[in-house]
Structures are given as structure tokens and as C-alpha cells.
Amino acid sequence: MQGFPASDRSAPTIRTARRGVKGTWPLVFRCAAGIGRAARASISGIQIRPVPRLLLATTLCAVLGAGSASAAVPLLASRARWGPKGVLTWQAVNDHVLGRAGESNPCGFETGRAVVDAAWEGDVLAGRLTLCTSCGERTVPYLGVHVSANGTVVADVSPSLVPGCESPGLDRRGRLILEPLAEPAGRPPLPHHLEAGEKLLQLRRGKAAQAEFQKALAAKEDPGKAWLGIGLSAVLLGDAEAAVAAYQKARSFAPSVLLSYNLACAQARLGRVDEALASLGDSIERGFAASDDLLRDPDLAPLRGDPRFSSLLARTKNNEERRR
């Protein structure tokens, strides 16, 4: 499942601990590894994982993070520079941190595709990285070191690449350097309670975050994003029923690919196979194109044995082909 889309502000929008909530219910952000790789997001842009997981904005079901629920983790800006002109958006997804391809990216990946899928180990993001190379697309181990002085995340990928294979997504030394970007000019800041709730989600403080999103509803800041935040908070608190109800309300205000994906993740967690398949089908109908998420997202495991899942997987691959 994925979480809120990483906010497009320079303010952090990332998930929290890797341990903690994982045992109860992978955060609402993105189903990936629990609740949504494909859908995580943040509130300002509010992307939610197909996040591998859920995030307020448009992401799907996950919350970024590492360590225990109360442990402090590095905070990432919602957007990072990838290559000379490309962009990568960070999303908190469950116990994972997702780095998604922006509209402009050096590999020409479809917007929203998960490039980095990792979790915090102290100041290091450990996981996997998907790259385009001169030898074809490759998925390799990823260890990104967070530079606290400026918020940049640096990973030396060269040891994992076949000699002679080069990637436009890396510098000349074979490093993936992701520098934080400021909020795009003209983008209004998030309303007070939505922003506060998003930051609390990043810290995996589900109850406090939920309270802020309830206040956002009362203040009429943005009901769609507020309900999304309530749903993500419910995931952190291990309340799948409440998450489903909140996602459905959020979808009534602003239906999206990621929101339907996150809803499918939550429904699958509850064993509601028919409903989850229907929600996943809606996400695919809206353009979901990440077959890897369908095959690897732990939240979707209950669906893979159903004969209908194969058809959904085929439709997702068709979406991928159309985007190439």
C-alpha cells in the first residue's frame, strides 16, 4: 500500500520506522511491503503509494521511516533533483521510503514509478534501486547515505552494475545523488492542520496525526486530503476497518489511481478479496502501471491466489506497454 504523495514542499514527507508498526499493520502508505509500495504520498502534493503505500497527497499506502515507532529518523524534502533536470519525489510508505520518478527523469520512466524502495537503518536508506542502463533495465541493491548538512542522499551504485553498463541516472562515478529541491514557485503551502498531520505521520504518531486531520476536516481545509490522512493514521494504529472507511470517503472527493490502490491494499488485509480486486481493478482502469508492485506488495498477497488476479496483472502490464 502506499501513502500520501510526498508533499511538493521542501518540508519533509517521509515514512518512519521500519520496525514498530510493521508487526501490527504496514502503514497505510502504499501496499508495498505491507501497505502499498505503489501508493504512498504526502499531503501537500498528497500523493499516496501505489507508494509502494499510503500518503496524503496522491500516493498510495505507506509511511516512510525506520527504527522504532518513536525513534527519530532523517526527514527528506518531498522532491529531489535526479540528474541535471530530472526530479524524484520521496514518499513515506509504511515501513519503507519510496522514491518515485517525476514527470521529468533521466531514465524516461513513467511518472510515479517506484525507483527507490528502501527503509531507514540509522542515517542510511537500505533497499533496492531500479535503473535504466545501456545494458537494459536493472534492479540493484541500494544504500543511500543521508547527508544531514544539506539533506542530500548519496548512493554508490557502481559496484552493483555490470562493467561497461552506464546509466543516465548516475553521475560519472556511478553514484545516484538526490539533492533536495525547494517547493515549486507559486505552490501554496498546505493548510495548517493538514501540514501538522503529515509531519506527525512521518514520525509514525498515528493518534496525534489523526487528531490533526480531524481538525482539518472541521476547518474545511481539504476534505479529500483530510480523509486520506485519517485513513493513513488508522493504518498506523492498526485499524484496517477505519482505514477502509476513510479511504472510501477520500475517494468520494478525489478518486485517483493511488487511492484506489491503497484501498485495495487495506481491503485485502481484511480478507475482503472481492472488494479488494474491484478496487485494484479501478486503479488499473485509471492507469495504474506497476506490475512489480502487484507481484511483490505484501498487502496484496491474499489476492494472488485468486484466478481474477492474473487478469488484473495482464491489464497492468498492458498499461506499462502503452506508456513506453
pLDDT (tens digit per residue) in 255-305:
888 889 989 999 999 999 999 999 999 999 988 888 888 998 899 999 999
**CA 221/CA 29 separation, integer angstroms:** 21
**CA 268/CA 281 separation, integer angstroms:** 13
Contacts of 37 (CB under 8 A, 6+ apart): 1, 2, 30, 31, 49, 50, 51, 52, 53, 60, 62, 93, 96, 98, 114, 117, 290, 293, 296, 297
Q: Do residues 144 and 125 touch, judged by C-beta distance below 8 A?
A: yes
Confidence of residue 16 (pLDDT cuts 50, 70, 90): very low
Does the pLDDT at position 250 exceed 70?
Answer: yes
Q: Do residues 94 and 36 touch, judged by C-beta distance below 8 A?
A: yes
**CA 178/CA 163 separation, integer angstroms:** 23
Residue pLDDT, tens place only, 68-103: 333 456 778 889 999 988 999 998 765 678 899 998
Alpha helical stretches, state H, the chain: 192-202, 206-218, 223-236, 240-253, 257-269, 273-285, 291-296, 307-323
pLDDT of residue 318: 92
Q: What is the CATH number of domain 1-324?
A: 1.25.40.10
Confidence of residue 184 (pLDDT cuts 50, 70, 90): low
Query: Residue 139's beta-bridge partner residues?
Result: 130
Tell the burial category of 173 from Cβ atoms under 10 Å away from its Cβ (0-12, 13-18, 19+). exposed
**CA 149/CA 165 separation, integer angstroms:** 32
pLDDT of residue 41: 39
Task: Specify the pTM.
Answer: 0.52
Return the domain boundaries, the chain.
1-324
